[in-house]
Structure 1
Amino acid sequence: MSLAKHDRISAEDAPAPAAGRTPLRTALATVITPVAPWLLAVGLALAALNLRPAISALAPLLEEVRADLGMSGTVAGLLTSVPALCFAVFGITAPALSRKYGPVAVVAAGMAAVAAGLGLRSLAGGTGVFLASSALALAGIAVSNILMPVIVKRYFPDRIGSMTGLYTMALSLGAAGAGAITVPVASALGDSWRLGIGVWALPAVLAATVWLTVLIRGRAVPAAPAPAAAAAGNGTARATTTMTRPDGTPVRLLRSPTAWALACFFGLQATAAYIIMGWLPQIFRDAGVPAGTAGVLFAVAMGLSVPLSFVVPRLATRMRRQGPLLTVLASCGLAGYAGLWLAPHGGAWAWAALLGIANCSFPVALAMLGLRARSAHGVVRLSAFAQSTGYLISLPGPLIVGVLNETTGSWSLPLLFMATLMALQIVAGVLAGRDRHIEDGA
């Protein structure tokens, strides 16, 4: 299917021009004409590459940051929850911004916010500026997070699996790469934590430049109103901006079982991912694994999803129901947790690999966002609802694991808690993976 067909606003995705609208407003209500598919693909990959370094680059240098800025332990602990909170809060604004300015312009602005936030964070002279600049970068990440599935749905409707695989692979590469090389980069640049985390603003600048190029190269053209909207007038045009079921009733996501199943699944898989990112190295170290080896095992768990993220979404989109695939992935997570409980030291490499496979539930969740709605407008609303609600669901998980470990002095009860959440993830995945659309109702 051609990009030209999907680059124009349909009656379902945007309102028809209203009388008296100024030229500027009219321009903002239009979309760009098609640009080279390879440029859009490069833009997707670069944007995804910048969606995690703001988080994963900080963890290895957090001790140096705290010492230099005089950051309290409480504030440092809150930093682990700030990303998910920002993703939930700022992600809600993505649908309105996309409707007003278009997803390409919003992603370009999001990448610019990431670059500015990371640059300012490296110059921060106090905790307040550090947190504010971090929030700026995370706001840019949040809106871009929401709109990645929308970009894929609109411009690559017949390649949802492969393009989702492309950007989730780039996302995983950015997360693993930033965690692995930030310390060596900081050491090479004079043992400066500021340069170590500030250097990640450069890829964001490159991504913003590519998306700005996409925006500029596209020629703004007025959207052609649908025949029904043109005949019925502005009232009908406004009505077409809402999602409707086949019987004409509007879709309310808060009453959609499919939307809630996706949100719960997204939240549970995000909880598992944040727990692994926050606690896996410590679990290995407490089992007697040397610190250096624990770091390598963590890199294996994170890095394994890089190649698999390109394959798994393509497999998911070829299946009518994704529940069986999600059950297999979650079962790998359950096996990994069982191994950490029974023989954390002896089978460490196998447990890290199994948990890395389980983390591939994330790209499947992103692919399902494009499969569970019939239009780009539906995808943007579903993406915002599922991701924002999901990230809110994921907030307490890592904190509960830490409290259980501190209270009991072992990892047995935390691992039981993690296994329980993984079992619930299987249930949510089966429900979310059914061959249904949010427009179909209950």
Structure 2
Amino acid sequence: MTPPPVPTATAPTTDVTPGPAPAAAPAPGVGPARGGLLVLAGMLLVALNLRAAVTSLGALLDEIRVGLGLSGAMAGVVTTLPTVAFAGLGALTPWLVRRWAAPRVLVLAMIALTVGQVLRAVTGSAAVFVLTSALALAGIAVANILLPMLVKQHFPHRTGLVTGAYTMALTVGTTVAAASAVPVAHAFGSWRAGLGVWAGLAALAVIPWVPLALRARAARRAAPPAAAVATPTRVRPGRTRLGWAMAVYFGAQSLSGYAIMGWLAQLFRDAGYRPEAAGLLLAGVTALGVPVALMMPALAGRLATLRPLVLSLTVFSTAAYLGLALAPRGLAPLWVLLLALGQGAFPLILTTIGLRARTAEGTVALSAFAQSTGYVIAALGPLLVGILYEATGGWTAPIGFLLVALAVQTTAGMVIARPRYIEDER
């Protein structure tokens, strides 16, 4: 099964480069003058939480399986739950934002993440563990979609810089949770501590959004009746060529990212590295991705076309995959560096979501469609790599599959590289 092809546009588009998008109006009562720094702090705290609940679970999966008596099938459900939740629940976010202000939605999302992480850390039931994990992931799914919209609303002229900052925070949270979950569990003598400690970080992320939610609520109540009933034009990315190209690019790069995170350590172990060294090499991909996550959005925001970035990332990833196939042991640090550079496609696509919409409404619609559809595609990555590895007993076929996914990603990248806006495609 392969990612869907990029459909032909349902309406003609022109090759005329559009003018700059108008600055999106800030959310009522929480514009840059009154709450810009608070919004930025809140976004960074949310970003720190966007993968901690997932990577801490992965690091402690063996201990959790033993502690809860999870069957192999149930463990499979737990490991695939993140992509399923991100795909399904993230699609509901535009509906939520049309009914409640974004700060209020984020308060509820972070509360769901906090409660879900606490409950799954204390339960003794496998079924309750899965349900409470789903609750926590629901909060992450909604926040995933909202952050690009908030950048558009509050920082329209600093899209690259702010996207880089929160993407870097996301990467830091991912790395720290993966690296420290096991030591924390050992220090407290239980996997429950290593899993539940991240609920405190999620609770901290609620704090900045409470006053922002109260301000937004007061501003809506004070708004004139005409403004209160005004309905923005509905944006439907699923009916546009740009929307599908964004979804395919997001899905293909996420597919590769999840496959790398799930199988790279095993590849290095098969090449003769000790488990500790293989784990460090895997951690190196994430660690080296921190400066890439910071710089990529700022660079993308300055370029008239994204084609040089799209092609450069393809070259880095291609060289890394070929190196892993031909000489995984001799030049492993170089392949890790090239993989980290190639994974810059993730911060690039997050930035592009904001760059390809004129309005906050367009941004949240495009974000929801690209990420929800993309995570469905991404779920195939670790699964198909595992099937190919088991069937062939080596890494040639899995790496060949990742090269095909990279070709699909690059094709979609050429479509999204040219400046245009989702609101203009009907």
What is the TM-score of this pair, normalised by structure 1?
0.87
Q: Quick one: which amino acid aligns to residue 318 of structure 2?
A: L
Q: What's the counterpart of residue 215 of structure 1?
A: 213
Q: What's the counterpart of residue 181 of structure 2?
A: 182
Give the distance between the partners of 1:282 and 1:183, measured in 2 at CA.
19
Matched, 1:326 2:306: no
Give the distance between the partners of 1:141 and 1:131, measured in 2 at CA.
15
Matched, 1:396 2:380: yes
Query: Whose radius of gyration is greater, 1 or 2?
Result: 1
Q: What's the counterpart of residue 27 of structure 1?
A: none
Instruction: Work out whether residues 324 and 430 of structure 1, in 8 Å CA contact, stay in contact via their aligned partners in 2.
Output: no
Q: Aligned-pair distance for 1:207? A: 0.3
Matched, 1:304 2:288: yes
Matched, 1:376 2:360: yes
Give the distance between the partners of 2:392 and 2:36, measured in 1 at CA.
54
Q: Secondary structure at the match of 1:7?
A: coil
Task: Give the unaligned 5+ runs of structure 2.
Answer: 1-22
- 1:148-163, aligned counterparts within 5 Å? 148-163=147-162
| Alpha-carbon spacing, 1:252–1:93, altered in 2? closer, same or farther (3 Å) | closer
Q: Secondary structure at the match of 1:80?
A: helix
Q: What's the counterpart of residue 233 of structure 2?
A: 242
Q: What's the counterpart of residue 108 of structure 1?
A: 107
Q: Aligned-pair distance for 1:218? A: 5.5
Give the distance between the partners of 1:356 and 1:293, measured in 2 at CA.
17
Which of 194, 199, 202 is equivalent to 1:201?
199
Q: What's the counterpart of residue 432 of structure 1?
A: 416
Q: What's the counterpart of residue 59 of structure 1?
A: 58
Q: Quick one: which amino acid aligns to residue 404 of structure 1?
A: L
Give the distance between the partners of 2:170 and 2:421, measured in 1 at CA.
26
Give the distance between the partners of 1:275 and 1:215, measured in 2 at CA.
38
CA-to-aligned-CA distance 1:138-181 (integer Å, 9 cap, x gap): 00000000000001000111110000001000000011111011
Q: Secondary structure at the match of 1:220?
A: helix
CA-based RMSD of the aligned residues comes to: 2.0
Q: Quick one: which amino acid aligns to residue 210 of structure 1?
A: P
Q: Secondary structure at the match of 1:115?
A: helix
Q: Aligned-pair distance for 1:189? A: 1.3
Matched, 1:6 2:25: yes
CA-to-aligned-CA distance 1:300-353 (integer Å, 9 cap, x gap): 001111122111100001112212202211221111111110011111111111
Instruction: Work out whether residues 27 and 153 of structure 2, in 8 Å CA contact, stay in contact via their aligned partners in 1.
Output: no
Instruction: Work out whether residues 150 and 379 of structure 1, in 8 Å CA contact, stay in contact via their aligned partners in 2.
Output: yes
Which of 270, 293, 296 is equivalent to 2:254?
270
CA-to-aligned-CA distance 1:275-301 (integer Å, 9 cap, x gap): 011111111111111100011101100
Q: Aligned-pair distance for 1:87? A: 0.3
Give the distance between the partners of 1:180 and 1:218, measured in 2 at CA.
38
Q: What's the counterpart of residue 73 of structure 2?
A: 74
Give the distance between the partners of 1:212 and 1:303, measured in 2 at CA.
32
Deviates more, 1:264-273 or 1:302-311: 302-311
Q: Secondary structure at the match of 2:25?
A: helix
Give the distance between the partners of 1:189 and 1:372, measured in 2 at CA.
47
Q: Quick one: which amino acid aligns to residue 299 of structure 1?
A: A
| Alpha-carbon spacing, 1:70–1:377, altered in 2? closer, same or farther (3 Å) | same
Q: What's the counterpart of residue 50 of structure 1?
A: 49
| Alpha-carbon spacing, 1:119–1:342, altered in 2? closer, same or farther (3 Å) | same
Matched pairs, number = 402
Task: Give the unaligned 5+ runs of structure 1.
Answer: 10-30, 244-250
Q: Quick one: which amino acid aligns to residue 319 of structure 2?
A: A
Q: Quick one: which amino acid aligns to residue 327 of structure 2?
A: A
CA-to-aligned-CA distance 1:196-243 (integer Å, 9 cap, x gap): 1100101000001121133235671247569xx78xx96xx44xx224
Q: What's the counterpart of residue 285 of structure 1?
A: 269
Instruction: Work out whether residues 35 and 214 of structure 1, in 8 Å CA contact, stay in contact via their aligned partners in 2.
Output: no
Give the distance between the partners of 1:274 and 1:359, measured in 2 at CA.
11
Give the distance between the partners of 2:340 and 2:236, measured in 1 at CA.
35
What is the TM-score of this pair, normalised by structure 2?
0.90
Q: Secondary structure at the match of 1:304?
A: helix
| Alpha-carbon spacing, 1:394–1:121, altered in 2? closer, same or farther (3 Å) | same
Q: Secondary structure at the match of 2:34?
A: coil
Give the distance between the partners of 1:217 and 1:72, measured in 2 at CA.
48
Deviates more, 1:305-314 or 1:31-40: 31-40
Give the distance between the partners of 1:292 and 1:174, measured in 2 at CA.
21
Q: Aligned-pair distance for 1:47? A: 0.2
Q: What's the counterpart of residue 441 of structure 1?
A: 425
Instruction: Work out whether residues 32 and 220 of structure 1, in 8 Å CA contact, stay in contact via their aligned partners in 2.
Output: no
Give the distance between the partners of 1:44 and 1:255, measured in 2 at CA.
30
Matched, 1:260 2:258: no
